Structure 1
């Protein structure tokens, strides 16, 4: 049963890497805390998204141009506005005593890689956006009687971003690296004889304040909150060598807002914001085939909320399917997984005609490949 669990984590890597909700690239799983003894793992994911649409309405030129003057006509294709990217995580766990475990995880909690192709005739052609991050999370778990354990930790997170929008008089913005801290707390219950484990985790928000350059010059600082989340992770044996697993993850994306001062003065709005929080569901089944091989399949779902999506993130919910296999030899476990994500259709808002759709993004998808290598000392 133990080797099946590794497939679970690899599938989670693939699905999370292609996550369509917000700018999330890590599910902040605490699964490493439950590995036996001393353990180290390295995960790598490669994600190839395809997100494109068609401009549905024209953009009108602002005054002093005559009313009704069309600056950008409708009908152009956006081209694929998402870049492929690689994400990673590195984890180490050890037992300090019979009842105390500690773990250290390095990962990329949020990210974005947006490039609208130039020369398409689309309103946002040539626009780019990038969010980079890295985080180090230190966790401690204490085992209580009756198979209950409590855990908590501190997360240090560094983030930065940049954007370029030719449509807005060649607007540019970039930030410094901001490092701030948050925390996590949780409780878990286990019943080893049936491979049952349920873990409930709260991750705090982390508020960053950035020094900013807009249009090549210094601007006033602004703040962005990387939102809080609640994770419910579960697994249980349902038959010999067979495991059912899944998770429910809530995240307060309505708290995430990027509003540089100069951009807000020019447009009256936010560069990036979300109207809805998200709940993401995963459910899968794993099977141990023999001493060396195990496998799993997993489904993922995040509902579409409707309304307008941002021009730098025109997606709305998703459905995913994934599969993975694990090979175990002595103390080494190697897992490979693949996920296919069907991204929900979305509309973006026309900046010159508020309340109307600028573009329709439909029939989009992403493919993610993941590999994890784990070693028990």
Structure 2
């Protein structure tokens, strides 16, 4: 017999997309670091595929058109959770929490137009990827086991490549850095409350920052241009290439997940996420050292943000048939400031999404859905703080599919 959508287990069909960001929306946020797989009842497993494509275009300060710089990307998320007994639960989650993918081309100030340069025709490019595995142990308590505390270790890998090209970056035209893969550890901690009679669940989850120390290989052609005095090169230990280490701290975050039944076939949800991107910076040593010539002993970071990110999403799910439910969401992402780095030039977004969930068997279900994103207008700036481009009237979409198994 096909399983019906009991109120206590009714889930939003686009949970796969619930707080998915895009690399250029706010900082480097991507997956939203969702933990709801661990909060499901009984034995639960899911595999999620997400595809994101945005159209980010604009004009540089000279009026030249900048074609779409946002590269489409996809990623997977997995989650497994089981109850050891009535008190203890265990789970493992995999996701790709942070990233960036931008590529400039065409006739504009973000592409090297110097015909005498070996980099002629090369455009500015950035790619950042991370992977994360989280192990969670939870313990329920209270008279009816309504409360739960949970936590565990997080293993995270990060790697990045950045190329700065074109007149927009002035002396930094031609700068390149490769940050090798590094793995470090953090932790997750949270508390949840549930009231099954009305399908109420609320969870507050904290993830720690994770400090990476990775190998970085930099190339900075300007050092050999003859425009820097030899005394300054010697005093700061500069060269056109350098292999050294770099410290990158991925930010802490707080997620709040809430759901409650409205009636026996309808569920309301709310999600809130906070990430302090204003504390984040990428500061390669050679880039920073050269910038000290003009900007003092602290120099400049390669990437930084002015504001923290807030994400809010509201949703409704409705059971239409014993094995079928549909849902809709609306959302808002604050962005991480404006002007913002030219490597991700949007100021957050508004979103609207639709999805459906179908129970194929008593235990197996498939969900699919999509979101449309109205991306916020932004001024693109380089690390010096100069505004070098304007990006307006941009949009994007998110598609996702989830296969899940649940045994109560």
TM-score w.r.t. length of structure 1? 0.90
Encode CA deviations 1:87-141: one digit per residue, 9 max, x unaligned: 1101111111111111101110111111001x32333460110101111000111
Q: State the structure with more CA Rg.
A: 2
Residues 1:306 and 1:206: Cα distance change in structure 2 (over 3 Å):
closer
Residue aligned with 1:254, SS = helix
Residue deviations 1:330-372, cap 9 Å, x none?
2111000101111111112367xx6653111111111110000
Is contact 2:216-2:245 (8 Å) kept? Answer: yes
Matches within 5 A, 1:1-377: 1=7, 4-12=10-18, 15-16=20-21, 20-56=25-61, 74-117=62-105, 119-124=106-111, 126-146=123-143, 147-167=146-166, 168-215=172-219, 217-267=241-291, 268-303=299-334, 307-329=338-360, 330-349=362-381, 356-377=386-407
Q: Which runs of 5+ in 1 are unaligned?
A: 57-73
- Cα–Cα, structure 1 residues 368 and 201, in superposed 2: closer, same or farther, change >3 Å? same
Q: CA deviation at 1:36?
A: 2.7
Separation (CA, whole Å) in 2 of partners of 1:25 and 1:43: 14
Pair 106,296 (structure 1): closer, same or farther in 2 beyond 3 Å: same
- Pairwise CA distance, 1:234: 0.3
Deviation of 1:303 (Å): 2.7
Paired residues of 2:24 and 2:100 also in contact (CA < 8 A): no
Contact residue 109 and residue 135 of structure 1 kept, 8 A: yes
Provide closer, same or farther for how the CA distance between residues 104 and 143 of structure 1 changes in structure 2, counting only shifts above 3 A: same
Shift, 1:292, TM fit: 1.1
CA shift for structure 1 position 254: 1.3
Residues 306, 139 of structure 1: alpha-carbon distance in 2 compared, 3 angstrom cutoff: closer
1:239-276 alpha-carbon deviations (Å, 9 max, x no partner):
22101101111111112111111112234422111011
Residue 38 of structure 1 deviates from its aligned partner by 2.1
The answer to whether the Cα contact below 8 Å between 2:9 and 2:41 also exists between their aligned partners in 1 is: no
Cα distance in 2 for residues equivalent to 1:370 and 1:18: 16
**Deviant stretches of 4+, over 4 Å:** none
Assess if the C-alpha contact under 8 Å between 2:338 and 2:379 holds in 1: yes
> C-alpha offsets along residues 8-42 of structure 1, whole Å, 9 cap, x if unaligned?
422316x4357711111122222112223222210
- Secondary structure of the corresponding residue to residue 317 of structure 2: strand
In structure 2, stretches of 5+ residues that fail to align are: 1-6, 113-122, 167-171, 220-239, 292-298
Count of residue correspondences: 356
In 1, the alpha carbon distance for the partners of 2:386 and 2:335 equals: 19
Are the equivalent residues in 2 in contact too, given 1:18–1:367 (CA < 8 A)? no
Q: Distance in 2 between matches of 1:230 and 1:316?
A: 20
